[in-house]
Amino acid sequence: MKILQLCKKFPYPLKDGESIAVNTLSRSMTQMSAEVTLLAMNTTKHYYDTTQLPAGLNHYKEIFAVEVDNRIRLSDAFLNLFSKESYHISRFISPAFRQKLIRLLQEKDFEVIQLETLYLAPYIQVIRKHSDALIVMRTHNVEHEIWERIAGHTRIWWKRWYLKHLTAKLKRYEKEQLSKCDLLAPISSRDERTFQALGPCAPSTVIPIGLDPSHYEPDYDSFHRPLSVSFIGSLDWMPNQEGLKWFLDKVWGRVSKEFPDLQLHVAGRNTPDWLLRRKQRNLIVHGEVPDAQAFINQHSLMVVPLLSGSGMRAKILEGMALGKVVLSTRLGLEGIPATHGETVFVADTPQSFLDAFRSCVKEGKQLEYFGRKARGFATDHYDSQTIAKKLLQFYTTLTVEAL
């Protein structure tokens, strides 16, 4: 099966959930004899030098990247107030990307064109005009929901009003696109139900983030060293900044006071100045680290204090695959049916986080058993080969029905 995968950013390096989700699925589909071609925007925010492509992308048949300037401009953001268009979406409309897509569709035959996220929906009409391929929208999040939650936590009234205004237009656009593709591939059952509640949508099948268990080697010795805590995530993503700041302001002071030997290690690309300047007891800020898995493996606990966002958190799955004990808000764990007290700890308040840390400290070296159960959960439920097989079977069924 010949598949064209469209991405709104170049999916490398593998340091964020979207890139991990894109690469893991495409690699697994290739291993099952699919032929996958990548066409990606190479945006100013996530620019990658494509002159020398890494071996980590050698599963693709061909790779094409188009430079797209999607920077937020105050003048454009202001003028958008008087437009019905979604500013979130308009930043990814590129004549150069459109022309490259047309040329590919004219020169090559594809059976499936897989749009990675809603932000590629503006190109559905182009695809319909130049190809008979099935159009699949793989939704990594319920996009408007992220911004609804961010707006709900914004205290400055004019900023909250503006975010709500943008979110309303994004939600309207998202609802309109749900029925325009041939298949909707939400990343969790929870997201699938949310889309179905919005109105008419295309047939759907849940395709979560997958992992190759052989790529994750747990270091269980971390449970025999003094406990330590990790946080890792893209720190230019607003929900990560928001959640981490709340955790530092409301939770970590209480935790470090009760457990003065417990350290919190924070890593992530594009670390903001406010975090680099922050002085707080037992807080170590690493900035971007060269190897995310090695960083996670050094620490026995992982914290994911998200207050907004949507979809699934790849870093939680990676942490569990590496046998770590994850402490997450309920929202952070959305889309992952792990059980509190068995494979994860769920906490939504400063007190419940403190209680979770108390449980971990009390368990001591016995936490290794907890970490091993987390590893088993991740590998049993999110094996990328199983997930890719399910999706390709669905593609085959739809392709046959279309004939």
- Report the domain count for the chain: 2
Q: Please, which residues have CB within 8 angstroms of residue 301's CB and are 6 or more apart in sequence?
A: 227, 228, 229, 230, 324, 325, 326, 327, 357, 360
Q: Which two tokens stand for residue 385?
A: 């080969």
Residue 146's identity, in one-letter code, is I
Angle made by CA atoms 305, 310, 316, in degrees to the nearest 5? 50
What is the reported pLDDT for 403?
Answer: 58
- Could you give the dihedral angle defined by the CA atoms of residues 338, 354, 324 and 24, in that order, rounded to the nearest 10 degrees? 60
Same domain membership, residue 194 and residue 293: no
What is the reported pLDDT for 79?
Answer: 83
Same domain membership, residue 343 and residue 254: yes
Same domain membership, residue 305 and residue 163: no
Same domain membership, residue 121 and residue 81: yes
What is the reported pLDDT for 400?
Answer: 67
Residue 8's identity, in one-letter code, is K
What is the reported pLDDT for 324?
Answer: 97
CATH number for 337:
3.40.50.2000
Same domain membership, residue 219 and residue 256: yes
Low-confidence ranges of the chain (pLDDT < 70): 400, 402-403
CA dist 270 and 249 (Å) reads 21
Q: Please, which residues have CB within 8 angstroms of residue 85's CB and are 6 or more apart in sequence?
A: 169
Same domain membership, residue 128 and residue 274: no
Q: Find out whether 86 and 166 touch, Cβ atoms under 8 Å.
A: yes
CA dist 311 and 209 (Å) reads 10
Q: Find out whether 21 and 59 touch, Cβ atoms under 8 Å.
A: no
Q: Find out whether 96 and 120 touch, Cβ atoms under 8 Å.
A: no
Same domain membership, residue 338 and residue 256: yes
CA dist 184 and 330 (Å) reads 25
Q: Which two tokens stand for residue 8?
A: 């709104």
- Pairing mode, if any, of strands 283-287 and 183-186? unpaired
Q: Which residue has the tokens 């990594």?
A: 140
Same domain membership, residue 91 and residue 120: yes
Domain that includes residue 247, residue range: 213-381
Same domain membership, residue 373 and residue 349: yes
What is the reported pLDDT for 325?
Answer: 97
Q: Find out whether 329 and 243 touch, Cβ atoms under 8 Å.
A: yes
Give all strands (DSSP E) within 81-133, no chain letters.
112-116
Give the predicted TM-score (pTM) of the model.
0.88
pLDDT in tens, 73-104: 888 888 888 888 999 999 999 999 999 999 99
Same domain membership, residue 165 and residue 256: no
What is the reported pLDDT for 249?
Answer: 97
CA dist 178 and 23 (Å) reads 24
Q: Which two tokens stand for residue 109?
A: 């035959």
Q: Find out whether 255 and 262 touch, Cβ atoms under 8 Å.
A: yes
Q: Find out whether 133 and 4 touch, Cβ atoms under 8 Å.
A: yes
Same domain membership, residue 184 and residue 275: no
Same domain membership, residue 255 and residue 159: no
Helix (H, G, I), strand (E, B) or coil at 157: helix
In a 10 Å sphere around its CB, with 0-12 CB exposed, 13-18 middle and 19+ buried, how is residue 294 labelled?
exposed
Q: Find out whether 35 and 3 touch, Cβ atoms under 8 Å.
A: yes
